[in-house]
Structure 1
Amino acid sequence: MNEALPPTRRPGIRAAMFVDFDNVFTGLQAIDPEAAKRFAEDPKHWAEALSAGDSGKSARRFLIRNCYLNPTVYSKYRTYWTRAGFRVIDCPSLTQRGKSSTDINLVLDAMDALSGSVGIEEFFLASADADFTSLIQRFRAADRMTTVIAAGAVAFAYREMADHVVESHDFVAILNGTAGEPIHAVAPGTQRQAPAASKTKTKAASPGVRDVLEFVRAAPGPVVGAMVAHRALAADPSLKTDWGGFGRFGTWVSQIGKDIEYSSVQGGWVWDAKRFSLEDLPAPADKQPGVEEQVTRVTDVPALSAAQFRQIFQSMAARLGEHPANRTELSRQVRDDCVSAGEPVSRNAVSFVLQGLSYAGFPLSDEATSAQLAIAWTRYVEELCRVALLEFDAAEQLAVRRWASGGLLDT
């Protein structure tokens, strides 16, 4: 039986941070190279942002700050981390395939911290590597809070085992200095709460609120969340920074009140509670029947229709042809284009596709066509299915390809 943690002698949550440098850095490079550079060269900035709280009681004190990196590849960044107060553990490659010793060193140090006399209350693990799922389970079993900092796609089981997840876009916002307030970890499936004063300001002053109220109340049924977000941003561009201090669209729209309801199911929906309810949302089977539903449920591939995937590739190719932008800006542009085209998708869905294209090794250049984007993405989806041990017959495989490619492989 675990004994109660001893009282702390200083205010703040006693925390420990373990950073898988190689994993986070490569993940950020695929999303935003400038953010990756800031992560590697200014760790003090984002560590302080994560340690900040709403008050002295909720602020974190990182008693342990460890960084694990491969010195053969990333030795030039070592000094930045030691100067920021991190203990840097060199993890060189030990095999011919280049596999480093990060995993075993990180796990051993984390278990030492878990069993130590200090009584760490919250463990931060900066890595999207699902191999650490068992470590998160051990933290949870010992009744410790766990927070995962993700820079890239995260396995469903790994995400759900953690108490909180700092998503890629939130972490990039910290690194790029675009967060409206210190980013706090958000529990999977929940919405972050903002200070009461911020809520009052958003309700009273934001033109985005007024536009959303008018739009949703006049809608003939529940409205796709991406479409509502697009209307709010058009009415109030300042919300692009951090949704008025709420961090996410779902949190922001949930705090409007006035009978406006929001649910994150099926990609997110907003409705007028005086006329509709959760039961009025379209059935999931209407959107993604059969084998597609298996893929989205097991692999975390966005639950979009073939038409939505097709629009993503077409919008992406058009934007890249105009002027290749960084992935953060490109995801926003493609999201807006899809909404305008009548095939609304969330920005998270677009970011997931961009990450998949990056993992597939597809270069996002001005010469990329929608068909080429569809082919690379479909191959990535098929690889996810293979890793997840999903077995399909020939007809089902064809259905997956047509769905994931948006039908572009047939044209």
Structure 2
Amino acid sequence: MNEALPATRRPGIRAAMFVDFDNVFTGLQAIDPLAAKRFAEDPKHWADALSAGGSGGGTRRFLIRNCYLNPMVYSKYRPYWTRAGFRVIDCPSLTQRGKSSTDINLVLDAMDALSGSVGIEEFFIASADADFTSLIQRFRAADRMTTVIAAGAVAFAYREMADHVVESHDFVSILTGSTAEPVRALAPVNQRQVPAQAKAKTKAMPPGVREVLEFVRTAPGPVVGAMVAHRALAADPSLKTDWGGYGKFGTWVSQIGKDVEYSAAQGGWVWDAKRFSSEDLPASVETQPGIEEQVARVTDVPALSAAQFRQIFLAMAARLREHPANRTELSRQVRDDCVSAGEPVSRNAVSFVLQGLGYANFQLTDEATAAELAAAWTRYVEELCRVALLEFDAGEQLAVRRWASGGLLDK
């Protein structure tokens, strides 16, 4: 199972897709019902987008396409998947609580594929269920590429174990056709060691890199990573899919070189190494003392400041008054508004808040106020703390409430 993969017999990365239908469908319904319908009724559309990946050797061939669903609830979607070339595995509820056999069936099939003679190079797991973290670890230990497709909040350990995560807003964009960029294939095993310098000689400096260099070199000090990411995406929209194949902004900006340094501390900072160092970072980014740090670390709630949460709610309420957009577009607009207001946040952070509002059954209408948004989000954060068995005294509970609400509930 751990032997080196043989030379590719046909062009394209040999890939396997394992879809936890129930998890993805319910997650999408909370984010964008139209995208959920497209996912369930037109799997060929998004599967082809993932197959396209990139150009030439960057394309994928899905040798295995498995879909695991509960036939008692979702049997009406079976014909769409079989017609799209998926093998549909029935996973009915086996317990009184409705727990299905999806997890064990998916894991067994994935391990069979890993140990098979074909030599699968990239594994796709379409599920936000952190129970699959151990499976991703096995893929990683066998030197296989892994991609997680998430339609909901993703546990930190699960996210970090994968080579690439297709975030919910990116997946919704693929489903709705609002992005022309496919999810690019990661480099095959036999192409991973190509020196970056050799590639640089064959092409001009990308516009995103050029924008970052100009911005960072003229900045009066270290710059918040979210602001640098915003400038890079504005200059080169193609980066929004998977950051040029690097998966994350931090990985992408770190490989630029040219004296551009990056630190992941407190959401990320970028600076010009010729003029500054890590010692020039604001002291507040080195640590985030208090109860907020514990909540963010245990529940995966974005580690933002109260001011940043406040700005998210203010920007979201203003956008909703203009026109209630779908959640994918709204996350982009709110991210941009926060950057413009001087409280930069990542799009992933905004998407996490939107998902929390969905789980709290809050309706995003043009009548929603910033305080109402803050109240619904705070209830969701408090529920996450309860599920995580975090115990707080009255003072700590108040601190969590003030932090999560951005101070909008202090009345």
TM-score range, shorter chain: 0.7 to 0.9
Deviations 1:155-185 (A, max 9, x none): 1122223333222233233323344543136
CA contact (8 A) 1:22 1:69 kept: yes
The aligned counterpart of 2:66 is: 66
Report the AA paired with residue 200 of structure 1: A
**Could you list the per-position Cα deviations for residues 250-299 of structure 1 after superposition, in whole angstroms to 9, with x for gaps in the alignment?**
57766776544444432232323321123322234677321111222222
Task: Kindly indicate whether residue 367 of structure 2 is the aligned counterpart of residue 367 of structure 1.
Answer: yes
Secondary structure in 1 matching 2:18: strand
Using structure 1 for the length normalisation, give the TM-score: 0.84
* Cα offset, 1:129, TM superposition: 0.6
Which residue in the other structure is 2:193 paired with?
Answer: none
Note if 1:21 corresponds to 2:21. Answer: yes
Give the partner amino acid of 2:385: C
Post-superposition shift, 1:232?
A: 5.8
Q: Does 1:352 align with 2:356?
A: no
CA–CA distance in structure 1, aligned partners of residues 181 and 231 of structure 2: 23
Secondary structure of 1:336's counterpart equals helix
- Which one is further off, 399-408 or 69-78? 69-78
Q: 1:186 to 1:397 in 2, by over 3 A?
A: farther
**Cα separation, 2, equivalents of 1:239 and 1:357:** 28
SS in structure 1 at match of 2:328? helix
Q: Are 2:307 and 2:406, in contact at CA under 8 Å, matched by a contact in 1?
A: yes
Whole-Å separation in 1 of the counterparts to 2:291 and 2:185: 34
One-letter identity of the residue aligned with 1:171: F
Task: Indicate the RMSD between aligned Cα atoms, in angstroms.
Answer: 3.3
For 1:402, what is the secondary structure of its paired residue? helix
**Against the structure 1 CA distance between its residues 336 and 200, is the aligned structure 2 distance closer, same or farther, given a 3 Å change threshold?**
same
The question of whether the paired residues in 1 share the 8 Å contact of 2:183 and 2:242 is answered with: no
Q: Is the 8 A contact 2:35 2:172 kept in 1?
A: yes
| Structure 1 residue 349, shift from structure 2 partner | 1.1
Larger mean Cα displacement after TM superposition, 392-401 or 344-353: 392-401
Residue deviations 1:203-244 (CA, integer Å, cap 9, x gap) = 4xx7x945x55554443211223334455667x5x7388489
The answer to which of 89-98 and 244-253 deviates more is 244-253
Deviates more, 1:139-148 or 1:126-135: 139-148
SS of residue paired to 1:200:
coil
Q: TM-score w.r.t. structure 2 length? A: 0.84
Question: Is the contact made by 1:288 and 1:305 (CA closer than 8 Å) also made in structure 2?
Answer: no
Which residue in 1 is equivalent to 2:46?
46
Indicate whether 1:202 and 2:206 are aligned: yes
Deviation at 1:28, TM superposition (A): 2.1
Mapped partners of 2:51, 2:308: distance in 1: 39
For residues 196 and 31 of structure 1, do their structure 2 counterparts lie closer, same or farther at Cα, with a shift above 3 Å needed? farther
| Alignment correspondent of 2:151 | 151
- Distance in 2, Cα, partners of 1:196 & 1:33: 43
Sort the Cα spacing of 1:381 and 1:83 in 2 relative to 1 into closer, same or farther, 3 A: same
Q: How does 1:113-124 map to 2 (within 5 A)?
A: 113-124=113-124
Alignment of 1:302 onto 2:305: no
The answer on 1:161 being equivalent to 2:165 is no
Structure 1 residue 18 displacement after superposition: 0.7
Structure 2 residue matching 1:408: 3-state secondary structure: coil
Matched, 1:270 2:274: no
1:190 equivalent in structure 2: none
Deviations 1:128-147 (A, max 9, x none): 01122232233334443332
Q: Hey, what does 1:98 align to over in structure 2?
A: 98
Change (3 A) 1:8 1:307: closer
C-alpha distance in 1 between matches for 2:218 and 2:10: 54
Alpha carbons of structure 1 residues 396 and 374: separation in structure 2 relative to 1, 3 Å: same
Aligned to 2:130: 130
Aligned-partner residue type, residue 15 of structure 1: A
Alpha carbons of structure 1 residues 239 and 106: separation in structure 2 relative to 1, 3 Å: closer
SS of 2:271's partner is strand
Closer/same/farther in 2, CA of residues 55 and 216 from structure 1, 3 Å limit? closer
Q: Does 1:312 align with 2:312?
A: yes
In the alignment, what sits opposite 1:246?
A: 244
CA contact (8 A) 1:41 1:80 kept: yes
The structural deviation recorded for 1:402 is: 1.2
**Does the CA contact (< 8 Å) of 2:184 and 2:242 recur in 1?**
no
Contact map agreement 1:130 1:158 (CA 8 A) in 2: yes
Q: Shift in Å at residue 94 of structure 1?
A: 3.4
Taking only the aligned residue pairs, the percentage that are identical comes to 84
| Alpha carbons of structure 1 residues 315 and 254: separation in structure 2 relative to 1, 3 Å | same
Q: Say if 1:230 and 1:15 are closer, same or farther in 2 by CA, change over 3 A.
A: closer
**Is the Cα–Cα contact under 8 Å of residues 71 and 91 in structure 1 kept in the other structure?**
yes
Q: 1:21 to 1:243 in 2, by over 3 A?
A: closer
Change (3 A) 1:173 1:323: closer
1:384 aligns with 2:384: yes
Q: Which amino acid aligns with 1:239?
A: P
How far did 1:350 drift?
0.9
Q: Give unmatched runs, 5+ long, in structure 1.
A: 188-192
- The one-letter code of the counterpart of 1:386 is R
1:300 alignment partner AA = D
Counterpart AA for 1:111: M
Structure 1 match to 2:279:
279
Matches within 5 A, 1:320-359: 320-359=320-359
